[in-house]
Every structure is written in structure tokens, then in C-alpha cells.
Amino acid sequence: MKGKPTPKRRLAAKSSGQSSPSIKDAHADADPTASGPANQPSAGRDEKDQQRLLDIFSHAFGAVLARDSFPTLLQEIKAALFHRDFVTAFGREDYLEAYAARWSPTRALCYATVLTAIGSHLDEMLPCRPRTKQSAVTDTEREACVRRDGTEAAPSPDSPPLRMLSVGGGAAEHVALASYVQQTRSRASLALLDAAPWTSVASLLQKQLTSPPPLSKYASAAVKESNKALLREDQLELTFSQRDALALTKDDLVDVVGTEPLVVTLMFTLNELYTDGGIGRTTSFLQSLAEVLAHGSLLLVVDSPGSYSEAAVGKAKKKYPMRWLLQHTLERESPAHRWEMLESDDSLWFRLPEGLSYPMKLENMREPRITTDDDDEDKNSSDDDEEEDKDDTEYDKDDDEDNDDDDDKDNDHYHNDSDSDETMAISDWS
């Protein structure tokens, strides 16, 4: 904006005492084969909470897990993902049900940890404080903030919801946000946008999230009395739109995101967009998204390291890191629109406690380390060990143990600090 100094851009933050307490004690150089509480980055989320989320998956997809065809479906999905054929992998409802039953539980636990870790930023998405110096907090908004701080048992039906749009989102994002809403006694509105037919999966999970878990007929009266659903039906509003994000026009995006600030997530989606849509279309989508988002919106990106973190450009198929492409798109200076990097880090292992139970084996995954923004541009104080630097993200079609290192993550976390609706300047990659 004319007459307004360009703010200092802050990139990857260094680890410090200001790191989020929920994962600050988890180190990227931890033993990748270890497990248990000593190596778990999910402090603040006890095993009981995590087990409850796993139970939601096992109850929702019990019939799927019990099918004789389940192992075959998994192998077919992994074969498609090995070839980065995302259209095939996510093109059938039975594939999506199998995918949600097999891979989404661990991701949901990890995503829930990420949302908890960035809770201070999510708090700012609610009108708990004036958005401008001239605006005032209404009584309803003040009450919602008090309730969000935990002084009331449940939020008011009139309390403002946290708005979230998950591009390419599915089961994991759905359950993770539900967990965050339950933990914070808040409300949320979640819009899932994906080309895949997630309607059936979303309906199954929403029913489980808002219904008391099934009990044995021998359960005591006390157990039956305390048996409650994770959420009330009015705590999480869910909508699903089966549309190709890259095919949306700017007017379409305006209808999708609305006029109020919201959280936009790209969880394991950016690579898919670059692979299926190419650099040009994906860059155009990110540009349009940045242009239509309201001031104060938040963008959370989680994706894979290794070869899955690269996108091929041009006939020569020269590869560029997705992180670089994203930063190049979002962080270029513009007099009218700018983004601020709030938090960013390399991969970190997310470890499941040994005591968790699920009908099939679940693996650990690398989770992004969330650190507090720092004005000093500094390298991370610790490096990933050799095991984590290996590029072993490809799917093994013959691996019955399902060691899915594709679940490894890098994290980029941006805050929209635009001053107008004018577009962000980016390069033309076409």
C-alpha cells in the first residue's frame, strides 16, 4: 500500500523457548525406531483422547475393515499412489473408505496435534479481540471468548464458529478439527473441497462424531450415564463440495471462501495439485485464492518431504521443491497484498503411544515441528538424522506391513496480511 512501509518478511523460525509446548520437546533427530511417551510430540493430548479418535474410525469403518476385499483394495490404492495416479487412488467410494480406515487415523491424530500447537493463531480467527482499533467486541463475542477459555462447560449456540476450508480435505481433517473443537469447547464450520467422492465417508464420520460410542449390553448404569458423543450436533457444521479446486474460477472461489477470515488447509494436497494440474494451474489457483481471501485469513500447508516434495516443470521435467514454489508464489512483494510467514519447519516424527489400540497396525509419521515466529532469520538448531533424510516416501506395492513413509510431512504456515483485494504478484509458470 502506498505510503506504508513494506514489513519485514519472516521465514523459518528458529527453535526457542517460545515453541509451542505441545510439541517443543520432540526432536527431529530422535530415534526413528523408538516409540512411546518419551518420543511423542503430542504432549497436552493424552492417550485417552487419542484412543477416542481411533475408536471413532474403527466404529465408522468396522464393516470396511472386516471385508475380505480390504487387503486387495489397499494394494490397489498403494499401486496407484506409487505411480502418483491420484485420480485412480481417490476416484472410487470403496477406495476412499479403505483409505480412510487405513491411513486417515494416524493423520487425524497428527493433524489434531498441529491444530492444538497453532491454537494461539486459531484463537485470533474468532472475534475475541477487535479486528481494528475502531471496532468493539460485542457482548456475544466477549461471552464466546470466555467460554473458549474454558470457564463454561459448553459454547453458546450463538458463539462464532471457527471457519475452515480444507482443500483436498477428507477424513483426517474432519476428525482433527472435531477433536480441536471438543478440546477447546468451541464451535466450527468445516467445508471440505475435493474432486473425490467423500460424501459417504464424511457422513459416516459425522454420525460417529455426534453419537455416543456403542457400549456393551453389560455396561454399568454409571458407564451408560457418562457415555457421551465427542461433539454435539451444533458444534461442527460440515459441508462437502465435490469439485476440482483447479477448475474453480475466481468468482467460484469467492463463493467458497466468503467474506470473513477463515483457515485454509492444504494437507497432503499441494503435491497432488502440482502433479495433476501442473505448475501453471496450481500457481494460478494459489494466486486467486490469495486474492479472494479476507484479511486475517490463515493458510496451513502440510505435505511430504523427499521426492514427493518436488514438482516437475517443463518438458525437461526439471524438479523444484514444493516449499520453494509455494514461497515464491506467496511471499513475493506486492504493494497491495502480502503474506507473513508465521511458522515453518522441517519434518518431525509423530509417534503413536504404544498403548493405543486399532484393528490394524498403524505407523508413526513425521510431523512438522511448530515453532513460534522469530524476527531473526536463522537456521533450525537441529538437523534431521540420516534416517529422516532418506528419500523413502514411495509406496511399496508388495509391502504387507504398510510402512507408509509417504506420511512424512513438511509444514509451511502462512498468515494472510493483505490490505486490499488486489492480487499478489507471482511469476507466470506456464
**String of DSSP letters for 254-302:** HHHH-SS--EEEEES-HHHHHHHHHHHHHHHHHHHHHHHSPTT-EEEEE
Separation of alpha carbons 81 and 276, rounded Å = 12
User: Would you say 361 and 340 are in contact if contact means Cβ atoms under 8 Å apart?
Assistant: no
pLDDT of residue 336: 60
What are the domain boundaries of the chain? 41-127+159-211+229-381+405-416
pLDDT of residue 271: 85
Separation of alpha carbons 107 and 57, rounded Å = 12
pTM of the predicted protein model: 0.73
CA angle centred on 293, ends 287 and 299, rounded to 5°? 80
User: Would you say 321 and 275 are in contact if contact means Cβ atoms under 8 Å apart?
Assistant: no
Separation of alpha carbons 413 and 298, rounded Å = 8
Relative to beta strand 347-350, strand 310-313 is unpaired
Instruction: Walk along the chain (430 residues) and give the pLDDT tens digit of each residue.
Output: 333 333 332 222 222 222 222 222 222 232 333 333 333 344 446 899 999 999 999 999 999 999 999 999 999 999 999 998 989 999 999 999 999 999 999 999 999 999 998 999 998 887 553 333 333 444 554 454 554 444 444 455 667 899 999 999 999 999 999 999 999 999 999 999 999 999 999 999 999 999 999 988 888 889 888 889 999 999 999 999 999 999 999 999 999 999 999 999 999 899 889 888 888 999 999 999 998 999 889 999 988 765 567 777 667 777 888 888 888 888 765 656 678 888 887 776 788 888 999 999 998 875 433 332 333 333 333 343 333 333 333 333 333 334 444 434 444 444 544 432 222 222 222 2
Is the domain 41-127+159-211+229-381+405-416 a CATH 3.40.30.10 member? no
Separation of alpha carbons 168 and 286, rounded Å = 14
223-231, Cβ contacts within 8 angstroms, sequence gap of 24 or more: 230/52, 230/56, 230/178, 230/179, 230/182, 231/178, 231/181, 231/182
